Amino acid sequence: MRIPKTLLVTAALAALLFPVAGEAQGGRDAYTELRIVVRSGNEEIGSIEPGGTIDLPGNSRVRLIMSAYAPGRGPNDRPIYPVTRYSEETPGRGISIVESNPENANATIEIAALGNQRNRTDVIRYQISDPDGRIPDRLERGMVRINVVPGATIGQATQDPVGRRADELTRVLYNAILLRDPDPGARGTVQAIQRNGYDALVEHAVRIADSDESRIQVYEKEGVCNEKRLLSLYKNLLGIEAAQVDRRQWDADLRRMNNGEVARVVNDIVRSDRFRSRYSLLANR
């Protein structure tokens, strides 16, 4: 049976104009990294990945904001905030959604006091609506856990958010650049970030990258090479896995690493929009 030529042309045009949904869902630019930012007032007090847990005190109110990243787009990628609806797994048990703004990906929740309980774990579920197909279907539904702990304020539950945040960021820098956890000598970095925020973080990140340990001693560790170090920078600072790396960016950064310009690579990464968005950091004015 012969197929009319006009039918073949029509089918070819359709394939070009309307690619299959699976390609959009699995493309390099898919938004495959999700993170729910938790804010108390204007201050970020933490974040939760899908299926993760965060400690929060009873008798408190926080805002949840869904953020999605496309790792393949490089270090300057900004997150999107997809339409997201939140729901309590067990309404009336301990967490109530008091305000909801799905179009801006956020909801405000109230966490009931513990009462006679020593602790309690509540579950918040979310449903993302993304008709443009930027977020894979498998990621559009999920949940996070709120571990309710004793404490009258957010500050008590998070053990001084500023100090805890500085500790977290210092650990990220050491793991990314030196491939190890901080030692007692890192206290100066923690204190500087506590006092001066993002600008101090950039300064100390470059110092760590330009240290003798970074330029010489780190290569004494078994298996350490510039490729491994660059992957560590991408993963720890930007949240990018090996399969998601932009090839052109990788080649450019690796050339600089091989030329001994580790500090320049680190400086560019920690100043990137993606790094600041990932850790909700603002430059000092």
pLDDT tens digits for 67-117?
Answer: 998 775 554 567 899 999 999 988 877 889 999 999 999 999 998 887 776
Domain boundaries, the chain: 28-152, 161-278
CA 77 and chain centroid, separation: 12
Give CATH for domain 161-278: 1.10.3130.20
Strands (E), the chain: 33-40, 43-48, 53-57, 60-69, 83-88, 95-101, 106-111, 120-129, 141-149
Helices (H), 128-284: 154-158, 161-177, 187-209, 212-215, 226-233, 247-258, 262-270, 273-278
Residue with tokens 């949240």: 239
In tens digits, the chain (285 residues) has pLDDT values of: 444 544 444 444 444 444 444 334 444 458 888 989 888 776 777 788 898 888 888 888 899 999 998 775 554 567 899 999 999 988 877 889 999 999 999 999 998 887 776 778 899 999 999 998 999 999 999 999 988 877 544 444 444 566 778 888 999 999 999 999 888 778 888 888 888 889 999 999 999 999 999 999 999 999 999 999 999 999 999 999 888 888 999 999 999 999 999 999 999 999 999 999 888 886 554
Which residues partner with 143 through β-bridges?
125
Would you state the CATH architecture of domain 28-152? Sandwich (2.60)
Tokens 């309690």 belong to residue? 120
Give the pLDDT of residue 176.
96
In this structure, which amino acid lies at residue 246? D
CA dist 54 and 158 (Å) reads: 10
